[in-house]
């Protein structure tokens, strides 16, 4: 199985890894078949904090992932991509954009990008409710 240089870089030196104490929202996703588990922590900044009526946005994001190199790389790249993004914009992110950001994933590892999105969407939906 061949990984891109970007996948290996994110795997060896993941960005935004860790926990946010007192997170505004937490989302978790897992795959029983492969054993990957991802947990996403969000700190949200509201429009009032910005002094206007704009969208709520992701002020900070961290992750904990137990899984393969692809799962860790997806978590790292995903958190980089959505940090500072409006919640509605982050909900529109697709697995294809994550895979593209990593310069591809082996077909058998594409499901990792779906787990990352599922954890992110769960956290955002938790915050919105």
- Report the range of poorest mean pLDDT among 14-18, 32-36, 66-70, 122-126: 32-36
pLDDT classification of 126: cutoffs 50, 70, 90: very high
Catalytic residue among 17, 28, 31, 34: 34
CA dihedral sign of residues 97, 101, 104, 109: negative
pLDDT tens-place string over residues 73-92: 999 999 999 999 999 999 99
- Look at residue 107 in the predicted model and tell me its pLDDT: 87
Both tokens assigned to 64:
């904990």
- Look at residue 50 in the predicted model and tell me its pLDDT: 54
pLDDT classification of 1: cutoffs 50, 70, 90: confident
Strands 57-66 and 25-30: unpaired
Catalytic residue among 98, 112, 117, 119: 112
| Fold held by 5-128 | Sufe protein. Chain: A (3.90.1010)
pLDDT tens-place string over residues 39-74: 999 999 877 655 544 578 999 999 999 988 999 999
Rounded to two decimals, the pTM is: 0.89
- Look at residue 113 in the predicted model and tell me its pLDDT: 79
68 is known as an active-site residue: no
pLDDT tens-place string over residues 92-103: 999 999 999 999
Query: Who contacts 29 (Cβ-Cβ below 8 Å, separation ≥6)?
Result: 37, 38, 115, 116, 118, 119, 122
112 is known as an active-site residue: yes
């Amino acid at each position: 199985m061949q990984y891109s240089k970007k996948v290996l870089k994110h795997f060896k030196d993941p960005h935004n890894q860790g926990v946010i104490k007192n997170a505004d929202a937490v989302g978790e996703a897992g795959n029983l078949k492969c054993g990957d588990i991802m947990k996403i922590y969000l700190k949200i900044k509201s429009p009032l904090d910005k002094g206007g009526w704009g969208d709520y946005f992701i002020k900070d994001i961290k992750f904990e992932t137990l899984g393969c190199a692809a799962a860790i790389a997806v978590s790292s790249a995903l958190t980089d991509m959505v940090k500072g993004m409006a919640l509605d914009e982050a909900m529109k992110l697709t697995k294809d954009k994550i895979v593209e950001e990593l310069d591809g994933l082996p077909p058998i590892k594409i499901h990792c990008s779906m787990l990352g999105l599922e954890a992110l969407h769960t956290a955002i939906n938790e915050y919105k409710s």
